[in-house]
């Protein structure tokens, strides 16, 4: 149920809370000045390095929150974009971009998203140096970052100091909920999406006042002007103002948007500073997890898969695919599925499945063909053979369908999962060359690790964030 509009007393309290939090989130003038100096020096150094190596660099710029001062001080990374001619071959783009990054960054480290980039340090800040193309039309990008200069120009022309303050509040609010960040692990609100929403609704409170009555999927576009090729599970549709064919909210999950819709009414009714104080969920110790499942009279199986050498943004879509595949097949195999979770640790990927009972019934009802079909004879021959593992039947059910009840050979959850794994699509990089590399244990016998604790918390400590921190 949507909460009633906040009374004036709640509005006054929200004014007070947001004013205090805004002061706390605002970087000092000295810090802003230092960021501006580093931005200018970084671009100058890159341009000098490009001249020294006769690089075809068209433009270097710092974009994103560091360029617009919409960052949260403890999450500040500087994004340096190195833009090259559109006709430059992609291999040369990578070569030149990485070379220029190494020329200016300290402790450079090659990272991989959809193409390689460098992460290093400059002037005491962490910097990502990302190569891209200097396209003239943002609706026709050649790489994932080519729209960035247009995003920068669009927002910089529209964000006043008061909007910048509201953007910081919105980012911190979403961060407290655990839904800030568009990386594949989080599936939340990107910085760009957050800034567009604050611009659209004028403030954090304006956004929340609108969001409190949203119904998923949410469409913030005119009818008939939605970006094409939207997935069926889309949560929010907001066309990119510089490329109307792109949905800015494509990374956002329905779960995370629903969390914001619920939180909007709760905050507006009872504003307080705790809505801006993140408390990341702590990993759940295995002993505590075992106590909880004993109280629930349930059973948890742990599937451990060797982690491939992939960055999280590439790996997590496959991790979630593996979780869905395992959980759905367990539910189809005679177990009462209660929940599942997954996490990618440094060495292993964990998929956890909770069921009501760790053993399924030895009896397996099996449908046969309806009488009158040619294959009835084959069905009867198969299940009346002397060695057929029949507990009862064949017989005709009340709906006129032939059936038989057979004995299951595997009854415990872990054995069933081991039998299922060879035929499940876990993701192209998650299926090891040797199936024995995948370990399946009951929770009590699973090797302990911080990553397992994270997955256990996701599975067994489900509670709305603002209630958990109350």
Q: What is the 3-state secondary structure (H, E, C) of 138-203?
A: CCCCCCCCCCHHHHHHHHHCCCCHHHHHHHHHHHHHHHHHCCECCCCCCCCECHHHHHHHHHHHCC
Q: Residue 6: its pLDDT value, please?
A: 55
* Segment 190-206, tens digit of pLDDT: 999 999 999 999 999 99
Q: Does 30 have pLDDT greater than 70?
A: yes
Predicted confidence band of residue 2 (pLDDT cuts 50, 70, 90): very low
Would 150 be classed as within a structural domain?
no
Encode pLDDT of 132-154 as tens digits. Answer: 999 999 999 999 899 999 999 99
Do 441 and 392 share a structural domain?
no
CATH of the domain at 342: 3.30.70.590
Tokens found for residue 459? 């599975």
Task: Give counts: helices (H), strands (E), the chain.
Answer: 15, 16
pLDDT of res. 269: 95
Residue 15 lies in a domain: yes
Q: pLDDT at residue 19 above 70?
A: yes
Decide if pLDDT at 437 tops 90.
Answer: no
8 A C-beta contact, residue 451 and residue 350: yes
Determine the structural domain holding residue 57 and report its residue range. 29-145
Percent of the chain surpassing pLDDT 90? 74
The pLDDT assigned to 247 comes to 94
Q: Which CATH number goes with the domain that contains 217?
A: 1.10.1410.30
pLDDT digits (tens, 9 = 90+) for 369-379: 887 766 788 88
| 350 shares its domain with 394 | no
Tens of pLDDT, residues 80-92: 999 999 999 999 9
Residues 383 and 331 in one domain: no
Q: 117, 97 in Cβ contact below 8 A?
A: yes
- pLDDT average, residue stretch 93-105: 95
Does residue 133 contact residue 142 with C-beta atoms inside 8 Å?
yes
CA gyration radius, the chain:
27
- Pair of tokens at residue 269: 């009714």
Q: pTM (2 decimals)?
A: 0.89
Same domain, 249 and 383: no
pLDDT at 265: 96
Amino acid 1: pLDDT:
42
- Write down which residue in 145, 176, 198 finishes a domain: 145
What are the C-alpha distances in Å from 238 to residues 116, 218, 227, 241, 441? 28, 9, 8, 9, 43
Domain boundary (223, 254, 276) is at 276
Length of the chain: 470
CA 459 – CA 470 distance, rounded (Å): 21
Distance separating alpha carbons of residues 337 and 301, to the nearest angstrom: 11
> What's the rounded mean pLDDT across residues 36-65?
96
- List strand residue ranges (DSSP E) for 309-397, in order: 337-344, 348-355, 363-367, 390-396
Kindly report which listed range (37-41, 74-78, 338-342, 372-376) carries the lowest average pLDDT score: 372-376
Q: What angle do CA 189, 239, 321 make, to 5 degrees?
A: 50
pLDDT at site 423: 87
Token pair listed for 224: 């008939």
Position 469 confidence tier, pLDDT thresholds 50, 70, 90? low
Show which of 258, 276, 294 is a domain's final residue.
276
What does the pLDDT read at residue 159? 96
Mean pLDDT of the 269-286 span: 93
Domain match, 255 and 193 both? yes
Q: Tell me, yes or no, whether 195 and 341 share the same domain.
A: no
Specify the pLDDT at position 186. 94
Number of domains in the chain: 4
Domain of residue 139, CATH code: 3.30.460.10
- Tell whether 82 and 207 lie within a shared domain: no
More confident residue, 311 or 52: 52
* Residue 362 pLDDT level (bands cut at 50, 70, 90): confident
pLDDT category at 352 given cuts 50, 70, 90 is very high
Residues 115 and 241 in one domain: no
Asked whether residue 5 carries a pLDDT value surpassing 80, the answer given is no
Could you tell me the pLDDT band of residue 470, with boundaries at 50, 70 and 90?
Answer: low
Over range 161-180, report the average pLDDT: 97
Task: Please give the pLDDT value at position 7.
Answer: 64
- One domain for residues 449 and 304: yes
Please state, as a whole number, how many other Cβ atoms lie within 10 Å of the Cβ of residue 395. 11
Residue 153 lies in a domain: no
pLDDT tens for 301-333 read 999 999 998 889 889 999 999 999 999 999 999
Classify the C-alpha dihedral 176-182-184-188 as positive or negative.
positive
Asked if the model's pLDDT at residue 97 lies above 90, the reply is yes
**pLDDT-derived band of residue 74, with 50, 70 and 90 as boundaries?**
confident
Q: Which of 420, 406, 304, 296 is nearest to 358 (CA)?
A: 296
Under DSSP, the state recorded for 449 is -
Which residues share a beta bridge with 116?
112
pLDDT at 451: 95
pLDDT single digits (tens) 373-424:
667 888 888 889 988 888 898 999 888 888 999 888 888 999 999 999 988 8
User: CB pairs under 8 A, 24+ apart, for 23-28?
Assistant: 25/72, 25/73, 25/168, 25/169, 25/172, 25/276, 26/165, 26/168, 27/69, 27/71, 27/73
């Amino acid at each position: 149920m949507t909460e009633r509009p906040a009374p004036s007393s709640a509005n006054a309290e929200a004014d007070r809370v947001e004013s205090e939090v805004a002061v706390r989130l605002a970087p000092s003038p000295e810090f802003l000045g230092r960021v501006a100096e580093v931005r200018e020096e970084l671009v100058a150094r890159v341009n000098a390095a490009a001249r020294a190596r006769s690089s075809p660099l068209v433009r270097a710029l710092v974009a994103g929150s560091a360029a617009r001062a919409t960052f949260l001080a403890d999450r500040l990374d500087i994004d340096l974009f190195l833009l090259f001619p559109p006709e430059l071959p992609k291999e040369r783009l990578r070569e030149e971009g990485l070379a220029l990054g190494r020329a200016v960054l300290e402790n450079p480290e090659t990272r991989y998203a959809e193409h390689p980039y460098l992460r290093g340090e400059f002037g005491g800040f962490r910097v990502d140096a990302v190569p891209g193309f200097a396209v003239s039309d943002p609706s026709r990008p050649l790489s994932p970052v080519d729209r960035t200069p247009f995003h920068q120009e669009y927002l910089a022309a529209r964000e006043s100091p008061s909007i910048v303050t509201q953007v910081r509040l919105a980012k911190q609010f979403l961060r407290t909920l655990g839904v800030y960040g568009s990386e594949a692990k989080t599936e939340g609100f990107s910085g760009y999406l957050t800034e567009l929403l604050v611009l659209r609704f004028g403030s954090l409170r304006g956004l929340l006042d609108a969001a409190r009555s949203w119904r998923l999927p949410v469409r913030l576009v005119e009818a008939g002007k939605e970006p094409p090729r939207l997935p069926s599970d889309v949560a929010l549709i907001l066309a990119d103002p510089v490329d109307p064919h792109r949905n800015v909210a494509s990374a956002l999950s329905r779960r995370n948007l629903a969390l914001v819709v619920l939180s909007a009414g709760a905050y507006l009714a009872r504003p307080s500073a705790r809505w801006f104080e993140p408390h990341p969920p702590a990993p759940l110790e295995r002993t505590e997890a075992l106590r909880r499942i004993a109280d629930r009279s349930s059973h948890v199986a742990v599937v451990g898969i060797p982690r491939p050498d992939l960055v999280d943004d590439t790996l997590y879509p496959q991790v979630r695919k593996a979780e869905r595949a395992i959980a759905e097949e367990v539910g189809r195999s005679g177990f009462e599925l209660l929940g599942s979770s997954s996490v990618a640790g440094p060495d292993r990927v964990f998929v956890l499945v909770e069921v009501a009972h760790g053993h399924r019934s030895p009896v397996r009802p099996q449908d046969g063909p309806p009488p009158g079909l040619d294959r009835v004879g084959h069905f009867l021959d198969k299940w009346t053979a002397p060695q057929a593992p029949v507990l009862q039947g064949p017989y005709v059910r009340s709906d006129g369908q032939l059936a038989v009840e057979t004995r299951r050979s595997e009854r415990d959850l872990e054995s069933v999962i081991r039998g299922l794994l060879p035929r499940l699509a876990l993701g192209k990089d998650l299926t090891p060359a040797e199936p024995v590399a995948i370990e399946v244990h009951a929770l009590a016998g699973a090797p302990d690790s911080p990553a397992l604790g994270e997955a256990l918390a996701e599975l067994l400590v489900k509670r709305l964030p603002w209630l958990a921190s109350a």
